[in-house]
Amino acid sequence: MKNYHEPLQFHQKTQVTSVSFEGLIIDTDASLFDWKKGDSIYDIHPFFEILSSFIEDHNGGSESYNFPCIHFEHGDDERICDVSIQIDKDISIILFDYTLKYSDLNLIAQQKNESILLSKELELKNKYLQEKEAFKNSFIANINHEIRTPLTSILGFVEVLEKTNLSFEQEELTRIIKRESKHLNSLIDDMIDISKIESGTLKVVEERFSFHTLIKGFEESYTKISEEKGLVFETKIDDNIQEYVIGDRTRVYQVLNNLLNNAFKFTEEGSVTFSISKNYQRTNKLNLNFKIEDSGFGILEENIPHLFERFTRFNHDKQISGTGLGLAIVKDLVDLLNGEIKVSSTPDKGTAFNIKLPFKFEVTKNTTQERKKKKYTLPKTKRKFRILVVEDEEITQFLIMKILISKGTFFVDIALNSEEAISYIERRTYDLVLMDLSLSKTDGFQTTHMIRKNYGDPYISEVPIIGFSGKASETARDKCLRSGMDDFIAKPFEQEELLYKITKQIAKKAAD
Amino acid sequence: MKLSKKVVLLGHFGVGKTSLFRRFVDNEFSEEYKVTLGVQIKKKVVELPDGRELSMIIWDTEGHSDSVEDTRKSYLLGSHAFIYVFDITREETYKNLNEELEYLQKNYTKVAAKVIGNKLDLVNEKETTAYLEAQNIPFDCLTSAKTNKNVQDFFSDLAKEITS
């Protein structure tokens, strides 16, 4: 390896050549190149063509020109020379051979330029990958919307179907359709989560919630499953854990639910134990240990390092559904929540997941009162409540109509677009408007804006409006509220939730 | 009478001046980047539409990292055309193009100055043309020394222009 701190060794050689104004070599010492007297200098190398322009401009005086670092072929090799040209009564050409010096400099320049070009190339590749990633995420978000819309209809109609007189076989088939649709829905949720985690748009939300209610929810749902599977489900919760904590309820639920779901999925006999204890508590900070232990299939030691990788499935039993995304999401979410996750497992004996998650809690407030979901009832009246549904998709229109009409307390009008909605609203008084956000031409936000701003009649301008969309996100909800809507419901909506939100808005309006 | 014109390739390092030079003169291309120190000179004889032959003496100069003013003045002596080459994929090689051209046109009034955007094989031609136009980046031709796209035509047109 060359040490560039060493002084450069030039070993300079020179060649002096005299040339006539006609371009013929008068004399040369031939110490570098084997040029011959009488040869035309123009035929030796194209560099010397420059002489013709100097000769043309020559006014009889003495002129000199210097050209550093000129490459001349020399057999299969090349010499790099500085060239000095002096024009007087004849032309003197002096070549200084600096091949060695320039080769050394060339190496340095090569390394410098290559590193700059390489970093530029990496920057470009990075930009390309980022663009690809953004496209992928936007594709997932859009395709999710397209899948959610028909799925809303499937789930909604299954719920309607469940309430009709069904034979045993039909009931069983309905149950399967519902289960599979819900599975598809959770798959979409997984895809959305992965895409949000990848794009960095999944933000941790801090909210105060009842920790005990959350755990009780798990107890209830998984006790039912354990009974169905003939397993023992045990929950151990440290009584000293605060009733209310501050953290991201949705994500904590998702992590624990995913792990519990897995534990039950891969355990055929024995038990699943869910224990929660305090790791530490300082000022308003709380760190909790969660342990989910099962007596299931277990995981081979060599598979454990790959457990949290995406699309990893070690169990190839087709009866056990899954995409291989669940644990990857769990790991990403735990990282996002600044927690830790560890796993230990013995094949055929079981697996234990240990998770540490940080929370906060309110020190001063009385935390014994639970904020319950307030109950609303429709105002007492003999008339039916009139709802305007603004939706261009026939299947969703039909589903909402079925849900509302089956209650017996609602009249429903359907508007296919913004224009029709405005026309209806000008002719009739409505108790509530259900507004699809992604209407063609004029969307739900613009239509709401028109209703709120263009009419002096408060029956029109103050009508409660609930927006709905397949793009379920906090952003969609915020955007609805900012554009003048009263609430938002994400597709696929459950019948109960839709009715709750409608009742709430009508009751609130009546109370005003 | 023998017709000979000196054409100098200028521009930032790594934009593909040597690749264009080799593609035009020897119809060769190499993926390997080799820095040019000083200047390499080659001759290519082209036939003009009127049947005359023109010796194009192409000077492939060392790329600069900042401005064309850094190029050794002696290399530009006796030139008939400058070809300022930039790399379409590297903005820093063309962001000061207007100033660079202004400098050449001011100091070498009789020399034709042409601009080539090289490495067309790496981008979408239509989108790039629209982008450069929107950015007010002047250019005479977009080329790919790698695929030989527009290279021969550009030099043929240049030969016609500097001999007319």
* Three-state DSSP state, B39: strand
Q: Which amino acid is at B151?
A: V
Residue numbers in B near A109 (CB within 8 A): 35, 37
* Of residues A290, A305, A293, the one with CA closest to residue A264: A293
Range of the structural domain that residue B34 is part of: 2-163
pLDDT, tens only, A146-166? 888 888 888 888 888 988 899
What letter does residue A508 receive in the DSSP assignment?
H
Burial of A227 (0-12, 13-18, 19+ CB in 10 A): exposed
- Tell me the CATH architecture of domain A14-110: 2-Layer Sandwich (3.30)
State whether A70 and B6 contact (CB < 8 Å): no
Most confident of A55-59, A97-101, A398-402, B78-82: B78-82
pLDDT category at A315 given cuts 50, 70, 90 is: low
pLDDT at A456: 85
User: What angle (nearest 5°) sits at the alpha carbon of residue A224, between those of residues A242 and A313?
Assistant: 90
Provide the shortest C-alpha distance from residue B124 to chain A (in Å): 14
Q: Which two tokens stand for residue A354?
A: 């240990």
* Three-state DSSP state, A120: helix
CB count, 10 Å around CB of A159? 17
**What is the rounded average pLDDT of the residues A182-198?**
79
pLDDT at A368: 45
- Residues listed for chain B: 164
Asked which of A24-38, A259-273, A473-487 is least confident by mean pLDDT, the reply is A473-487
Q: Which amino acid is at B16?
A: G
Rounded Cα gap, residues A441 and A155, in angstroms: 28
- One DSSP character per residue, B86-143 reads EETT-GGGTTTHHHHHHHHHHH-TTSEEEEEEE-GGGS-HHHHHHHHHHTT---SEE-
Closest residue of chain A to B63, computed from CA coordinates? A113
Provide the shortest C-alpha distance from residue A91 to chain B (in Å): 17
- Best residue of B7, B13, B25, B35 to probe chain A, by most A CBs closer than 10 Å: B35
pLDDT at A408: 84
pLDDT at A474: 62
Q: Which of B39, B57, B77 sits opposite A71 (nearest CB)?
A: B39
Backbone angles phi, psi at A123, to 5 degrees: -60, -45
At a CB cut-off of 8 Å and minimum separation 6, what does A366 contact?
none
Give residue ranges of B with CB < 8 Å to any A CB: 4, 6, 13-14, 33-35, 37-43, 55, 57, 62-63, 72, 74-75, 77-78, 89-90
Residue with tokens 């929810």: A217
Residue B133 has pLDDT above 50, yes or no: yes
pLDDT at B2: 74
At a CB cut-off of 8 Å and minimum separation 6, what does A109 contact?
B35, B37
Domain segments of chain A as ranges: 14-110, 114-199, 207-360, 385-511
**What is the rounded average pLDDT of the residues A49-57?**
88
**What is the rounded average pLDDT of the residues B39-47?**
94
A80 touching B (Cβ < 8 Å): yes
pLDDT category at A2 given cuts 50, 70, 90 is: very low
pLDDT at A478: 80
pLDDT category at B20 given cuts 50, 70, 90 is: very high
Residue A314 has pLDDT above 80, yes or no: no
CATH, domain range A207-360: 3.30.565.10
Burial of A152 (0-12, 13-18, 19+ CB in 10 A): buried
Rounded Cα gap, residues A206 and B11, in angstroms: 55
pLDDT, tens only, A221-255? 899 889 989 999 999 999 889 888 999 988 899 89
Structural contact between residues B15 and B86, judged by C-beta atoms closer than 8 angstroms: yes
**Structural domain count, chain B:** 1
State whether B4 and A52 contact (CB < 8 Å): yes
Structural contact between residues A489 and A470, judged by C-beta atoms closer than 8 angstroms: no
Residue A469 β-bridge partners: A490
pLDDT, tens only, B90-111? 999 999 999 999 999 999 999 9
Residue numbers in A near B12 (CB within 8 A): none
Q: Which of A68, A114, A124 sits opposite B89 (nearest CB)?
A: A124
Rounded Cα gap, residues A353 and A337, in angstroms: 16
Could you report the predicted ipTM of this complex, rounded to two decimals? 0.92
At a CB cut-off of 8 Å and minimum separation 6, what does A45 contact?
A72, A73, B41
**Topology of the domain covering A385-511:** Rossmann fold (3.40.50)
Mean pLDDT in chain A?
A: 85
Go through B87-114 and write b for each residue having 16 or more CB atoms within 10 A of its CB, e for each that does not: bbbbeebbebbeebbeebeeebeebbbb
* Of residues A31, A29, A28, A9, the one with CA closest to residue A19: A28
Closest residue of chain A to B43, computed from CA coordinates? A46
Closest residue of chain A to B35, computed from CA coordinates? A110
Provide the shortest C-alpha distance from residue B109 to chain A (in Å): 16
Residue A271 β-bridge partners: A232
Q: Is B139 left (phi over 0), alpha (psi -120 to 50) or beta?
A: beta
Residue A468 has pLDDT above 50, yes or no: yes
pLDDT category at A27 given cuts 50, 70, 90 is: very high
Rounded Cα gap, residues A323 and B125, in angstroms: 41
A114 touching B (Cβ < 8 Å): yes
pLDDT, tens only, A416-464? 999 999 999 998 999 999 999 988 888 999 999 999 998 888 889 999 9
pLDDT category at A271 given cuts 50, 70, 90 is: very high
Residue A442 β-bridge partners: none
Closest residue of chain A to B15, computed from CA coordinates? A117
CB count, 10 Å around CB of A459? 12
Residue numbers in B near A87 (CB within 8 A): none
pLDDT category at A369 given cuts 50, 70, 90 is: very low
State whether A46 and B78 contact (CB < 8 Å): no
**Topology of the domain covering A114-199:** Helix Hairpins (1.10.287)
pLDDT at A175: 86
Q: Which two tokens stand for residue A344?
A: 């230990």
* Of residues A95, A27, A20, the one with CA closest to residue A58: A20
Residue A110 has pLDDT above 50, yes or no: yes
Alpha helices in A281-438 (DSSP H): 326-336, 394-407, 418-427
**What is the rounded average pLDDT of the residues A269-298?**
93
Residue numbers in B near A116 (CB within 8 A): 13-14
pLDDT category at A493 given cuts 50, 70, 90 is: confident
Backbone angles phi, psi at A464, to 5 degrees: -60, 135
pLDDT at A367: 44
Residue A174 has pLDDT above 70, yes or no: yes
Q: Which two tokens stand for residue B133?
A: 């136009």
Residue numbers in A near B43 (CB within 8 A): 46, 49
State whether A124 and B37 contact (CB < 8 Å): no
Q: Which amino acid is at A77?
A: D
pLDDT at A1: 41
State whether B4 and A67 contact (CB < 8 Å): no
pLDDT at A316: 52
Structural contact between residues A50 and B77, judged by C-beta atoms closer than 8 angstroms: yes
* Of residues B157, B163, B55, B77, the one with CA closest to residue B116: B157
What CATH code is carried by the domain that includes residue B17?
3.40.50.300
Rounded Cα gap, residues B115 and B17, in angstroms: 12
